[in-house]
Amino acid sequence: MSNQEVARIIAEIGEYLDMEGVPFKPRAYEKAAKAVGDLDKSVSEIYASGGLKALEQIPGIGASIAKKIEELIKTGHLKYHDELKKKVPVDLSGLRKIEGLGPKSIKKLYEELGVKTVADLERAAKAGRVAKLEHFGAKSEENIKKGLEFLKKATGRPLLGAVLPLARRIEERLRGQKEVEKVIIAGSLRRWKETIGDLDVLVVSKKPGPVMDFFVSMPEVVRVVAHGETKSAVKLESGLNVDLRVVPAESYGAALNYLTGSKDHNVALREMALAKGWKLNEYGLFKGKKQLAGRTEEELYAVLGMDYVEPEMRENTGEIELAKKHKLPKLIGYDDLQGDLQIQTDWTDGADTIESYAKAAIERGHKYIAITDHTKRLAMTGGLDEKKIRKQWVEIDRVQKKIGAKLKILKGTECDILKDGSLDLDDETLARLDVCGVAVHSHFDLPREEQTKRIIRAIKNPNVDILFHPTGRLIGKREPYDVDMDAIIKTAKETGTILEIDAFPDRLDLKDEHVKKCVVAGVKLSIDTDAHSIAHLDFLEYGIAQARRGWAEKSDIINTRLLEAFLKLLKK
DNA sequence: GCCGTTTTCGGCCCGACTGTTTTCAGTCG
Ligand SMILES: Nc1nc2c(ncn2[C@H]2C[C@H](O)[C@@H](COP(=O)(O)OP(=O)(O)OP(=O)(O)O)O2)c(=O)[nH]1
Ligand SMILES: [Mg+2]
Ligand SMILES: [Mg+2]
Ligand SMILES: [Zn+2]
């Protein structure tokens, strides 16, 4: 039984208890479910090796839930869950996808109308039966209908890269309003999560009314979900929700901290405040009626006795303890990169010429770039063979001469790792390159052991400098191939191979959790755009963000160095 | 149900908006 399956059952128990109005337990189950879902080892294995005791070691899991997990692992079933489900036998996860519909409403709809599924609910709403229920009415029925309509079109969480440009436009638009003193996008976007559930916008203003009116009447708005004095929410035609919070200047820091989250980070801070006899909310940190902090986030963390925590770290995964001990890492900054080490040109499947990339890189302040076209096995891209890549070197030399010393153009490759772990170009050719990147582009479905052996063999090659997009995932489209990342990281450490953080918004590969492991292991990383056109050169920030989410410092990333120092970090 | 240099018992983050309601529950952030 997978972690996700266990987590789902535990979470459902929480929802059923919530339905019955049981206090506190729902949160306990919710927390436990999240703990299981976030585990990076398998619960079954944890139980197999350490038994109940090991399960109870997981924060949020105590004796009672540990026993339930044991039953799930042993029998594939949980009597307690089955019993709760028998009382209200509905498609809970399906119905919960309807915005605004919570456990209490679902229970009522089942008991009064026999609604078990989304389809049942649709029939009941269309027949006007929902509006007749006590505590429901015409508007609740209408909202359910709208929710059902939206659910049919819903397409899941969009990529950060797909919403960031829109978010920045909305930010600018609000900034143009005269009542607006400050605007900032908070929420998961400020934490640079790889996918985004909604936009959370914070505005400072003395006059919220006009700001709210402007916000809910933006042209893209198709539905006003809420329209209040301090908070509004809308749905855009793209399906994206946008929340707006407006506060006075003296609450800016506290409100930004609240709206940035994560929820778990917020709750942990609020518990800290509570333990000191204080109260933390979005208006400030208070001792009785007196505001101790709230105008800035820096002040808020300081008064709580912590160092400032960067938004990318606010996931309640240990950052709070480090901040209290003043031991937070100093994260790599958004201006710290000197160059880009993965670029595909029109020699293969890229859209632009070496020369135009060089000019664009100079405009962006890069000191070096690596030209890393595909190799011959990727025939559909016109991948380079040993002969053709030598021709490319001549062109690189020509462009280098033309542009002079402003930018170093490195001769590189994104050489295919073949099925057996050998490489698509011969060693003599690889040895003559400035930067040799290798990557898996085929046989994604090899068994874990074989895939791991294949990649290890490739990076053990003394000519190989960097492993590009190490897990091969495409967010929302393709799962990472099955590979033992711990073994790859270990080998990278032993061989001095660099692992890449591919910044392309649908890759972000390595992702934050793997970056964290590399940092701990002392494996060096590179941040590259994987550009296939000049516009893609701007993706570096997504890679930097992922590095920051993995707690990487400047020194962990090789292309923060100037050329000479950077080249020294590659294999001899 | 979980958890602990304020507690092994008694707390549990805190607030906004809506809709249906004569005073607040439900849902969400
Ligand atoms: N204190 C507190 N803050 C919360 C709670 N729920 C949400 N928040 C805060 C933290 C969140 O980051 C912020 C925005 O809420 P969202 O639901 O939009 O979450 P977030 O943006 O983190 O993720 P998302 O990508 O939108 O799913 O509001 C809560 O229950 N308590
Ligand atoms: Mg959000
Ligand atoms: Mg939100
Ligand atoms: Zn390519």
Give yes or no for residue A543 CB within 6 A of ligand 1: no
Rg (CA), chain A: 27
The whole-number Å distance from A203's CA to B13's C1' is: 23
pLDDT value for A94: 96
Give the Å distance between the CA of A531 and the centre of ligand 4.
Answer: 8
Give yes or no for residue A188 CB within 6 A of ligand 1: yes
pLDDT value for A571: 87
Q: What is the 3-state secondary structure of A193-249? A: CCECCCEEEEEECCCHHHHHHHHHCCCCEEEEEEECCCEEEEEECCCCEEEEEEECH
Q: Please give the helix or strand (H or E) that residue A267 lies within, else none.
A: helix A263-275
Q: What is the 3-state secondary structure of A280-302? A: EECCEEEECCEEEECCCHHHHHH
CB neighbours (10 Å) of residue A365?
11
pLDDT value for A285: 97
Strand partners, A526: A500
Give yes or no for residue A198 CB within 6 A of ligand 1: yes
Mean of pLDDT values over A53-60: 95
Q: How far apart are CA A247 and CA A230, in angstroms?
A: 7
Tell me what percent of the residues of chain A surpass a pLDDT of 70. 100
Dihedral over Cα of A502, A504, A506, A512: its sign: positive
Give yes or no for residue A257 CB within 6 A of ligand 1: no
- Asked if residue A184 has pLDDT above 90, the reply is yes
Residue nearest to atom 27 of ligand 1 (CA): A197
pLDDT value for A346: 97
Q: How far apart are CA A38 and CA A57, in angstroms?
A: 14
Give the residue among A67, A91, A88, A93 at the shortest CA–CA distance from A79.
A67
The whole-number Å distance from A189's CA to B5's C1' is: 37
Q: Torsions phi, psi of A289, nearest 5?
A: -90, -10
Would strands A199-204 and A182-185 be described as parallel, antiparallel, or unpaired? Answer: antiparallel
pLDDT value for A507: 98
pLDDT, one tens digit per residue, over A439-485 is 999 999 999 999 999 999 999 999 999 999 999 999 999 999 999 99
Give yes or no for residue A262 CB within 6 A of ligand 1: yes
The whole-number Å distance from A175's CA to B24's C1' is: 37
pLDDT value for A183: 98
The DSSP call for residue A181 is S
Note whether A414 and A392 are within 8 A (CB). Answer: no
Strand partners, A525: A499, A557
Q: Which nucleotide is nearest to A138 (CA to C1')?
A: B19
Q: How far apart are CA A521 and CA A537, in angstroms?
A: 29
pLDDT value for A554: 98
Note whether A501 and A525 are within 8 A (CB). Answer: yes
User: Which amino acid belongs to residue A289?
Assistant: K
A235-242, Cβ contacts within 8 angstroms, sequence gap of 24 or more:
A235/A150, A238/A166, A239/A150, A239/A153, A239/A154, A239/A155, A240/A158, A240/A163, A240/A166, A240/A198, A240/A199, A241/A197, A241/A198, A241/A199, A242/A170, A242/A198, A242/A199, A242/A200, A242/A201, A242/A215
Q: How far apart are CA A170 and CA A173, in angstroms?
A: 5
Strand partners, A375: A384
pLDDT value for A464: 98
Give the Å distance between the CA of A381 and the centre of ligand 4.
Answer: 7
* Residues sharing a CB contact under 8 Å with residue A383, sequence separation 6 or more, in sequence order: A348, A373, A374, A375, A376, A377, A416, A424
pLDDT band at A54 (very low <50, low <70, confident <90, very high): very high
- Asked if residue A565 has pLDDT above 90, the reply is yes
Q: Which nucleotide is nearest to A96 (CA to C1')?
A: B27
Residue nearest to atom 11 of ligand 1 (CA): A261
pLDDT value for A518: 98
Answer whether any strand B atom is within 7 A of the Cβ of A64.
Answer: yes
For residue A261, give the ligand nearest its CA: 1
Q: What is the CATH number of domain A339-567?
A: 3.20.20.140
Classify domain A3-153 by CATH architecture: Orthogonal Bundle (1.10)
Mean of pLDDT values over A107-123: 97
Mean of pLDDT values over A422-436: 98
Task: Choose which residue among A159, A193, A200, A297 to substitute to test ligand 1 binding: the one with the highest number of ligand atoms within 8 A of its C-beta.
Answer: A200
CB neighbours (10 Å) of residue A173?
15
Point out the residue nearest to B14 (C-alpha to C1').
A281
Task: Choose which residue among A159, A225, A256, A263 to substitute to test ligand 1 binding: the one with the highest number of ligand atoms within 8 A of its C-beta.
Answer: A263
Which atom number of ligand 1 is nearest to the Cα of residue A267?
1
pLDDT value for A145: 97
pLDDT, one tens digit per residue, over A405-426 is 999 999 999 999 999 999 999 9
Answer whether any strand B atom is within 7 A of the Cβ of A275.
Answer: yes
Note whether A40 and A80 are within 8 A (CB). Answer: no
Q: Which nucleotide is nearest to A108 (CA to C1')?
A: B26
Point out the residue nearest to B4 (C-alpha to C1').
A275
CA-based angle A428:A432:A436, to the nearest 5? Answer: 95
pLDDT, one tens digit per residue, over A315-374 is 999 999 999 999 999 999 999 999 999 999 999 999 999 999 999 999 999 999 999 999
Give yes or no for residue A197 CB within 6 A of ligand 1: yes
Structure tokens at A330: 């100093």
Does residue A430 sit in helix, strand or coil?
helix
Would strands A231-236 and A221-227 be described as parallel, antiparallel, or unpaired? Answer: antiparallel
Whether omega before A510 lies within 30 degrees of 0, making that bond cis, reads yes
Residue nearest to atom 30 of ligand 1 (CA): A263
On chain B, which bases lie within 7 A of the protein's CB atoms? 1-3, 6-7, 11-21, 25-29
pLDDT value for A102: 96
Q: What is the CATH number of domain A156-247?
A: 3.30.460.10
Note whether A144 and A101 are within 8 A (CB). Answer: yes
Matching fold, domains A250-328 and A339-567: no
Give the domain ranges of chain A.
Answer: 3-153, 156-247, 250-328, 339-567
pLDDT band at A572 (very low <50, low <70, confident <90, very high): confident
Answer whether any strand B atom is within 7 A of the Cβ of A281.
Answer: yes
Give yes or no for residue A126 CB within 6 A of ligand 1: no
Tell me what percent of the residues of chain A surpass a pLDDT of 90. 99
Classify domain A250-328 by CATH architecture: 2-Layer Sandwich (3.30)
pTM: 0.96
* Relative orientation angle of helices A103-113 and A118-126, to the nearest 10 degrees: 70
Mean of pLDDT values over A55-69: 96
Q: Please give the helix or strand (H or E) that residue A43 lies within, else none.
A: helix A43-56
Cα distances (Å, whole numbers) of residue A79 to A71, A87, A134 = 9, 13, 33
Mean of pLDDT values over A484-503: 98
Give the Å distance between the CA of A226 and the centre of ligand 3.
Answer: 12
Give yes or no for residue A202 CB within 6 A of ligand 1: no
Q: Which nucleotide is nearest to A142 (CA to C1')?
A: B19
pLDDT, one tens digit per residue, over A17-48 is 999 999 999 999 999 999 999 998 999 999 99
